[in-house]
Amino acid sequence: MTESNDAIALTLENVAKDFGGLRAVDQVSLRVPVGERRAIIGPNRAGKTTLFNLISGELPVTQGKIILFGQDVTAMPPYRRVGLQMGRTYQITNVFQKLSVEENVLLAAQGLSNIKYAFHRTLPRRGAIYEQMTSALQSTGLTDKAHLPAQKLSYGEQRQLELALALATGPRVLLLDEPAAGLSAVERTRIAALIRSLPKSLTIVLIEHDMDLALGLVDQVTCLHFGRVIAEGTPDAIRVNATVQEVYLGAG
Ligand SMILES: Nc1ncnc2c1ncn2[C@@H]1O[C@H](COP(=O)(O)OP(=O)(O)OP(=O)(O)O)[C@@H](O)[C@H]1O
Ligand SMILES: [Mg+2]
């Protein structure tokens, strides 16, 4: 590993994904330095979620390379990427509705996402896993709700819980797919503040439809359109980028 690679959390080299005849992700190259907050924006069907599925390993790439902290993970299954501290938000269906918020986060911290284990485990009341849970609840503003069954949470709080589940795995790179989707204006502001307050050492790649929200949260922006990177730059540069404006107006 070279010195410069140490400072790069995530590298994509000419990554492509085909679904039958459709090229959903087309020759995408990215370099995300450690601690950077990066937004992936772009209209519907631009390939944003597919790109995340390739990065997390849920889908195999058709072509290209994915490198995490200098290590080639292109052929690694998702659980091994989590072992290399790549975290992503889970869909809310991964939450055990009857278990408490705290129990859900403890299970995530233990690396258990299988319901079979969930009911046969004695959950720790102290130690590293417990600390990880406490810290994830604190970072996501859920400490007061720790003992509530997950099903009693509001929709906005459930989205906070998704974030807590991802944080509980102790990620160094965190992938967030539309963390504010479906939230009210007040809830959006809250989740944006939570994301902003996460440790600066954590590298965050964030998909967000709402340009204003995305651009207010990140250092760098990559805009996808038909699977291709059509623009990359700071939020200020992206705001005035003619190609990006065209794509968003066209999509609107
Ligand atoms: N599993 C799949 N099988 C076949 N086609 C797929 C699959 N997943 C995505 N696609 C197609 O790939 C393209 C990109 O989809 P993707 O979900 O990545 O876009 P997106 O940018 O996340 O869109 P959105 O903003 O609507 O969430 C779309 O045309 C979509 O229909
Ligand atoms: Mg998507």
Average pLDDT per run of 10 along the chain, which is 252 residues long?
Answer: 68 98 97 97 94 96 97 93 84 78 90 54 75 93 96 92 91 93 90 92 92 92 97 96 88 58
Ligand nearest to the CA of 17: 1
- The verdict on the CB of residue 171 being under 6 Å from ligand 1 is no
In this structure, how many other beta carbons lie within 10 angstroms of the beta carbon of residue 85?
17
What pLDDT does residue 1 have?
Answer: 45
Ligand nearest to the CA of 22: 1
pTM of the model: 0.90
What pLDDT does residue 212 have?
Answer: 86
What pLDDT does residue 120 have?
Answer: 57
CA 45 to ligand 2 center in whole angstroms: 7
Q: Return d(Cα 35, Cα 195) in angstroms, integer.
A: 13
Q: Return d(Cα 220, Cα 198) in angstroms, integer.
A: 17
Query: What are the extents of the domains in the chain?
Result: 1-85+171-252, 90-170
- The verdict on the CB of residue 45 being under 6 Å from ligand 1 is yes
CA 15 to chain centre: 18
Nearest protein Cα to ligand 1, atom 26? 44
Ligand nearest to the CA of 50: 1
Cα angle value 236/229/203 (rounded, 5°): 65
Q: Write out the two tokens for 128.
A: 């590293």
Nearest protein Cα to ligand 1, atom 16? 47
Amino acid in the structure at residue 110: Q
Q: Return d(Cα 34, Cα 200) in angstroms, integer.
A: 9
Which of 50, 54, 88, 175 gets mutated to test ligand 1 (max ligand atoms within 8 A of its CB)?
Answer: 50
What pLDDT does residue 90 have?
Answer: 61
- The verdict on the CB of residue 50 being under 6 Å from ligand 1 is yes
Superfamily (CATH) of domain 1-85+171-252: P-loop containing nucleotide triphosphate hydrolases (3.40.50.300)
- Identify the CA nearest to 110 among candidates 96, 124, 120, 98: 124
Place of tokens 């929709």: 155
Ligand nearest to the CA of 25: 1
Q: Return d(Cα 12, Cα 141) in angstroms, integer.
A: 33
CA 51 to ligand 1 center in whole angstroms: 9
Beginning with the edge strand found earlier in the chain, give each strand of the sheet holding 22-33 in spatial order. Answer: 22-33, 8-19, 63-68, 71-72
CA 145 to ligand 1 center in whole angstroms: 35
What pLDDT does residue 244 have?
Answer: 94
CA dihedral 25, 31, 36, 40 (to 10 degrees): -20
- The verdict on the CB of residue 42 being under 6 Å from ligand 1 is yes
